[in-house]
Structure 1
Amino acid sequence: MKFFNYLSSALLLTLFLNNAQAQQSIIPKREFRGVWVATVVNIDWPTKPGLTTKQQKDEFIKLLNEHQRQGINAIMFQIRPATDAFYAKSEEPWSQYLTGKQGQAPNPFYDPLQFAIEECHKRGMELHAWFNPYRASFDGKEETISANHITKNKPEWFFKYDGKKLFNPGLPEVRAYINKIILNVVDNYDIDGVHFDDYFYPYAIKGQVIDDTEAFILHNNGIKDIKDWRRYNVDELIHQLSDSIHAHKAYMKFGISPFGIWKNKSQDPQGSETFGGDSYYGLYADSKKWVQKGWVDYINPQIYWSFETKAAPYNKLVDWWSENSFGRHLYIGQGAYRINATKDLSWKSPTQFTRQISYNRLNSRVQGSVFFSSKSLTNNPLGIADTLANKYYRSLSLPPLMLWLDSVAPNKPQNLLAVEDDKGILLSWKLPLVSKTIGKDKTYGFVVYRFNEGEEMNLDNASNMKAIYYGDITSWEDRGVEKGKTYTYVVTTLDRVKNESEPSTPFIISVKTGKTNPKP
C-alpha cells in the first residue's frame, strides 16, 4: 500500500510539472497583470518628495515603460495614502509625499492622477485608483498636518492607535464622507477601477486599544458584541460603496486586496488550512462575505508566502480563495518584495515566483496577479522582471471580462487602411458605426492584430496582438515589419470593461513592394 501511495504521489507530481511546463508555453489572451505603485513614504513614486513636475513625470514615464516591457497591463496607483491627495479635484490637501509639504500644490501645476491615467491608457494599461479609506495620518507628526486637514476640522471622527489617527468606521458620517471622497474621483476621472488594500481596522499591537466604545453605544444598531459591530461597520462601507460606484458608472470596477487569510480552519471549518493571522478576527474584515454578496468585482488576496511556508502555504491559500470566489474575479497578490530579500531560503530561488505564476495559471478560477510593489519588479531581483518579459508575459494580454458589468460587445472599426512609410506600416481606421443599442460611448480602445502570410487568422492567440491602447486614437504604426514579407492586419474595438468587437475587414500589405491589397 505504501508503495502504491508513493507511485500515486510521484505520478501526480509528474503530471503537475508537465502541465505547468505546458501552461508556460501558452500565454492567455486575457489575464490581469497588475502592480501596486505605492506613494506612501515614497515607496515607489515619486522617489522623494519635492521633485520638480518634470522630474516627477519623467520618473513615472520611466516606471510605466519598464512595466510595459515586463507585460504588466494594470496599475494600482495609490492616490490617497493618508487622507491626502495625489489628484487636483479633491477636498483633501495635496500629499506631503508629492510636494514635501501637505497642502502644497505641484509647481508648475499639474494633476498627477490625470497624467497617470493618460500615460497608462496609451500603453494599454488600466489604472485602478487605490484608496486607503481609514488612515488619516501615517507617522503621527502633528506638525506636518495642514491646517485644513479633516482631522483638525472634525477631530471627533478619529481615534488614535499606535500614535496614528484613524477614521472611526462606526460613525455613519465617516462612512458617508469616505463614500463622497471616492465618488468624487469616480465622477471626475476616467479611472478603470476603485481599489482598496488590507487596511480597515488596525492590525493589533500589544498594549493598544481601539477607542470606539462611545461610538458603539450610540450606533450599535442592536448588535451586542462590539467585534461583530466593527465587522458590520466595514461591511456597511463596502456595500454602500459598491452600490454608489456602480450607480454612478455601471462599468466601474471595484476591488479589494485583503489580508491573505480570511479565517483558519481551526477557527472555522470553512477556513483555510493555515495557522496564521486572519482578517475576520484580526482586522474585523469579512472578506469572504464581500465576494459572496457580490459587493466587489474582484478580490485580490495578499498571499505573500511561499509554497514552503508551513503556517500559510501559497498553494493552500490559492486553492481556498479559488473555491470561495463565487464567480467574481480572483487576482492573487504576490510578494515580489520578498524575492531574495528575506531569511526564508525558499525566496532565494528564482523558481519560487515563477512556480507561483504557473500554479495560478493551472487554476481556471484564478484570472491573474498583482505584484507588490513596483520597485520590487523594476529592481529585477534574481532576474524576475526579465523572466516575466521574455517568458510568462512575452505576449500582450487583455484584462478578463466582467460580464455582470457589461456583456454587450461594441461595433467593429470601419475602413481599415495600411500604407508603407519610411518607418514601417502605418495603419488607420475610422470609429465604429453608432447604433441605437450600441452608442458612441461603447468605443473605448482598440486592439491591433497582425498575421504572417499563410498564418491562420486566430484572434485567440495572444502572440498575434501587436498593440492595445485605450482612447480614440485611430491609427498605429507597426515598426516591426520585415522587407519582402506580406502581412494581414485586423483591428477590433474595446469598450470600457474590455468587451471586444468582431474584427474589422482585413487588410493585406506586402512590405517594400508598393502593393497593397485590401481583402474583400
Structure 2
Amino acid sequence: MLKLLASATILIVLFYSCSKKPLESFQKEVEIPEFKAVNIKTSIPKSEFRGAWVATIANIDWPSQKGLNSETQKKEFQDIVKHHKKRGINALLVQVRAASDAFYAKSKEPWSEWLMGEQGKGPQPFYDPLEFMIEEAHQEGLEFHAWLNLNRGKHRLAGSVMPNHLIYTKPEWFISYGDYELYNFGLPEVRSYIIDVVMNIVREYDVDGIHFDDYFYPYKVTGLELEDHAAFAKYPNGFRSIEDWRRNNIDLVIKGISDAIKREKSWVSFGISPFGVWRNKSDDPLGSETRGGQPSYDLLFADTRKWAMEGWIDYIAPQIYFPFEHNLVPYGTLTDWWTKNHGKAKLYIGHGVYRVEANSSTKAWKDPNQIPRQLDYNRYSSGVDGSIFYNTNTFIKNNLGLADSIATRYKYPALVPEVNGVAKAIVQAPKRLLLTDIKEGLKLTWANETPKGFKNVVYRFKEGQELNAGDPEHILAITLSSEYVDKTRRSNTAYIYMITAVNRWNKESEPIFIRH
C-alpha cells in the first residue's frame, strides 16, 4: 500500500506543448491536490486476483490437439493470452505437469503425450513451451502460475507410457487405483521427489506461482481400497490411524514445498485449489453447513483448512462449483465459511464456468447471471480477494455471454494482491518522467531502477480530481514497459499523470507525477 504523503506540495514537472518533440520543461514547486493511496469503496477493487485455468491434460484447453507444429502451438497460446487480457484476466494458471510428464524442457520427466501425441517426444521444431508461455503472459502484464498435478503417475486416458517412466523404473512408488497409477505419499522418497520436481521449476523458470488443484489422495471409488498399508506399517511416524497418517503425509509435502519456495524465491506464490468442502458440520463443529459428498479432509486426506490457517500456502482457491440454489452445497453458504477459515492465506474462489450452458440439466446453470452474481457476492464478502475460472475453452466460447458479463465486472485493470510475507524493503519509484506529443497520442516515458519482472502502473487524473491511487478507474495500464502512449486523452483537457512501480511481491512504490 502506498504511503500517504505528508504534504500537498509536490515537486512536479510542467510542460508546454510542441509537436512531435519532447515537450520543453522546467521544475517548479506548485500546489496540487493532496495525493492519497487509500482504497475507496468501489464496485471494482484495485487489487484483485482474476485468474483462469488453462488445462493441458487430454488437450482440454491447450494445445487444441496432439501433434501440432510449434508455430501453431505458439499461436494458440498467444490467442489465449490476448483473449484473457481483453476480458480483464490478470493471471494464468497453466497445467505444466499432468501425469508425471512435462510441458517444459528442463525436466527429468518425459515430454507429455498431449503435446506431440507420444510421450517423450518434444515439440517440432524445438522450443521450450514453458519459457515461451511465461514470456507471452508477462509481456501482456499477466502473472503465470505453473499448475502441477500432484498425485498421478499415469492417467486413465494416457496412451503408451515410455519404458523408462517412473511407473516402470520405480514401481514400488505407485499404487494402482482403478485406471490410475498414483504416487504412494507414505514413502519418504516419493515426497522428496515431488518437492524436487516443484523446486526444479521454481529454480529454472520465471514463474510467479506454483499451483496444485484438488488431487491428493484419490476421490473414493466404491469397492476399491488404497493399497498403502505396507508403507503405513514401515513408516508409521507415530500414527495409529491410517487416515491421520495419510493426512500427515500430505502435510509434509505441502510444508516442504512451502519452505523450499520461500528459501529460493520468496516472491513466488504457492497456492492450492481444493474441493470446496473441507468438512461438513455434521462431522466436525468447525465444518461448513453443507452436505458435500467427498470432503477434502475425510476422503482426500487433505487438511486444506490447516494449510491456510498455518500460512503454509499463500492463497487457497476452493472449487465452489455450485450455484446459489444448490440444496446440499449452496454457493453463498460455502463462500461465507471460507471467509472465516482461510487463515493467513489469501482467499480466491474457483468458479465452474464450464457448467454454464443453455442445455444444462440444472436450471441454475442456465441462468446467465449465476457466475456474475457469484462475483458480486465475492466482492461484498469480507475476505475474498479474487476468482479463478475453469476452464479456458468454455470461457472463450462465451456461453450465454458469460465472458462478456465477467469483462464488465473487470472494466478496469487490477493489481494482483501482495504476496504474503512481502519484503519490507522500499520499492523504488520510477524517475525522469517525460512527455512527448506524437501522432498516436501523448507518449509517457520514464526510467526504472528496478530489477527485471517489476511492473509499472500508469494513472491519469483530470485537473482538479482527487489524486487517489486507491480508485482503479484512474488506471490506464499495468505494464512491464517503461513507456506508454495515451491515445484517449482529450486535447482540451488538463491532466495529471502518475506512475508507480510494482515489485515481484506486488508491492507498489510511491508515485512520480507529471502535469500536462
- Counterpart AA for 2:454: Y
1:347 equivalenced with 2:365 (yes/no): yes
**Offset of 1:329 from its aligned partner?**
0.4
Per-residue deviation at 1:45? 0.7
Query: Which has the larger strand fraction?
Result: 2
SS at match of 2:100: coil
Partner of 2:416: 399
Contact 1:443 1:493 in 2 (8 A): no
Q: Is the CA contact 2:83–2:396 (under 8 Å) kept in the aligned structure 1?
A: yes
Choose from 503, 507, 515 the match for 2:514.
507
2:485 to 457, 477, 480: 477
3-state SS of 1:36 partner = strand
Structure 1 residue 465 displacement after superposition: 1.0
Quick check: 1:173 aligned with 2:180? no
Per-residue deviation at 1:414? 0.5
487, 493, 506: which one aligns with 2:501: 493
Question: How far is the alpha carbon of 1:481 from its aligned partner?
Answer: 3.1
Give the superposition deviation at 1:62: 0.8
Q: Does 1:420 align with 2:430?
A: no
Partner residue of 1:159 out of 147, 172, 175: 175
How far, CA to CA, are the matches of 1:327 and 1:139 in structure 2? 36
SS in 2 for 1:118: helix
Q: Check whether the contact 1:95–1:101 (CA below 8 A) recurs between aligned residues.
A: yes
Q: Would the aligned equivalents of 2:314 and 2:344 in 1 still touch at CA under 8 Å? A: no
Q: How many Å apart are 1:216 and its aligned residue?
A: 1.0
Contact 1:132–1:199 (Cα < 8 Å) also in 2:
yes
Does the 8 A contact of 1:416 with 1:428 survive in 2?
A: yes
1:41-190, aligned counterparts within 5 Å?
Answer: 41-139=58-156, 141=158, 144-190=160-206
Question: Which residue in the other structure is 2:475 paired with?
Answer: 465
Q: Per-residue deviation at 1:326?
A: 1.3
**Structure 1 or 2: more helix by fraction:** 1
Range moving further from structure 2, 491-500 or 216-225: 216-225
Number of residues paired by the alignment? 475
Task: Check if 1:212 corresponds to 2:253.
Answer: no
Q: Which residue of 1 aligns with 2:283?
A: 267
* Residues 330 and 115 of structure 1, relative CA distance in 2, 3 Å threshold: same
Q: Among 366, 376, 387, which residue is 1:369 paired with? A: 387
Please tell me the residue identity of whatever aligns with 2:226: I
- Counterpart residue type for residue 508 of structure 1: R
RMSD of aligned alpha carbons: 1.7
Whether the aligned pair in 2 keeps the contact of 1:443 and 1:494 (CA below 8 Å) is no
Matched residue SS, 1:331: strand
Task: With the length of structure 2 as denominator, give the TM-score of the two structures.
Answer: 0.89
Are residue 304 (structure 1) and residue 326 (structure 2) matched? no
- Cα deviation for residue 458 of structure 1 reads 2.1
- Paired residue for 1:244? 260
In 1, Cα distance between the equivalents of 2:288 and 2:413?
34
**How far 1:443 sits from its partner (Å)?**
6.7
Please give the alpha-carbon distance, in whole angstroms, between the structure 2 residues aligned to 1:443 and 1:165. 38
Contact 1:94–1:102 (Cα < 8 Å) also in 2: yes
2:19 alignment counterpart: none
Partner of 1:359: 377
Question: What amino acid is the match of 1:337?
Answer: Y
In the aligned structure 2, how far is the partner of 1:25 from the partner of 1:343?
36
**Residue-by-residue CA offset, 1:196-247 (whole Å, 9 max, x unaligned):** 0000011011122211111111111121111111111111101111111111
Counterpart for residue 15 of structure 2: none
**Counterpart contact for 1:263–1:272, Cα < 8 Å:** yes
Taking only the aligned residue pairs, the percentage that are identical comes to 45
Report deviation, 1:79: 0.4
CA distance in 1 between counterparts of 2:151 and 2:183 reads 5
For 1:429, what is the secondary structure of its paired residue? strand
Give how far 1:451 is off. 2.1
CA–CA distance in structure 2, aligned partners of residues 30 and 329 of structure 1:
12
**Structure 1 residue 483, shift from structure 2 partner:** 4.1
Question: Corresponding residue for 1:451?
Answer: 461
Instruction: Report if aligned partners of 1:261, 1:276 keep a CA contact under 8 Å in 2.
Output: yes
Q: Residues 473-495 of structure 1: CA distance to partner in whole angstroms, max 9, x if unpaired?
A: 32222233344444332211110
Q: Alignment partner for residue 351 of structure 2, among 322, 328, 334?
A: 334
Contact 2:267–2:419 (CA under 8 A) maintained in structure 1? no
Distance 1:147 1:483, change over 3 A: farther
| 2:402 match | 384
Q: Secondary structure at the match of 1:356?
A: helix
Deviation of 1:377 after TM superposition, in Å, equals 1.1
Structure 2 residues without counterparts, runs of 5 or longer: 1-39
> Which amino acid counterpart does residue 363 of structure 2 have in structure 1?
L
**Matched position secondary structure for 2:182:** strand
SS in 2 for 1:401: coil
Q: Residues 476, 40 of structure 1: CA spacing in aligned structure 2 closer, same or farther, 3 A cutoff?
A: same
The CA distance in 2 between the partners of 1:486 and 1:60, in whole Å, is 40
Task: Give the distance between the partners of 1:44 and 1:282, measured in 2 at CA.
Answer: 29
Task: Tell me the TM-score normalized by structure 1.
Answer: 0.88
- Residue 298 of structure 1: how far off its partner (Å): 0.7
Q: Is the 8 Å Cα contact of residues 58 and 157 (structure 2) preserved in structure 1?
A: no
Give, in angstroms, the shift of residue 409 of structure 1: 3.8
Moved more, 132-141 or 353-362: 132-141
Mapped contact 2:431–2:446 kept (Cα < 8 A): yes
Point out the more displaced range, 296-305 or 445-454.
445-454
Partner SS, residue 144 of structure 1: coil
Per the TM alignment, residue 455 of structure 1 is displaced from its structure 2 partner at its CA by 2.9
Residue 263 of structure 1 contacts residue 279 of structure 1 at CA under 8 Å; is this kept in 2? Answer: yes
CA drift of 1:190 comes to 0.9
1:76–1:128 Cα contact (<8 Å) kept: yes
Distance of 2:312 and 2:79 partners within structure 1: 35
For residues 120 and 442 of structure 1, what CA distance do their matches in structure 2 show? 15
Q: Mark the runs of 5 or more structure 1 residues left unpaired by the alignment.
A: 1-22, 433-439, 510-520
Paired residue for 2:33? none
Q: Deviations over 1:421-448 (max 9, x none)?
A: 121222211113xxxxxxx548711111
Amino acid in structure 2 at the alignment position of 1:477: V
Deviation at 1:53, TM superposition (A): 0.9
Q: In the alignment, is the contact (CA less than 8 A) between 1:53 and 1:109 conserved in 2?
A: yes
CA distance in 2, matches of 1:139, 1:221: 32
User: For residue 271 of structure 2, what is the aligned residue in structure 1?
Assistant: 255
Deviation at 1:342, TM superposition (A): 2.9
Which has the higher relative contact order, 1 or 2, with Cα contacts under 8 A spaced 6 or more apart? Answer: 2
CA distance in 2, matches of 1:344, 1:240: 41
In the other structure, the counterpart of 1:199 is 215
1:410 maps to which of 410, 423, 427: 427
The one-letter amino acid paired with 1:501 is: S
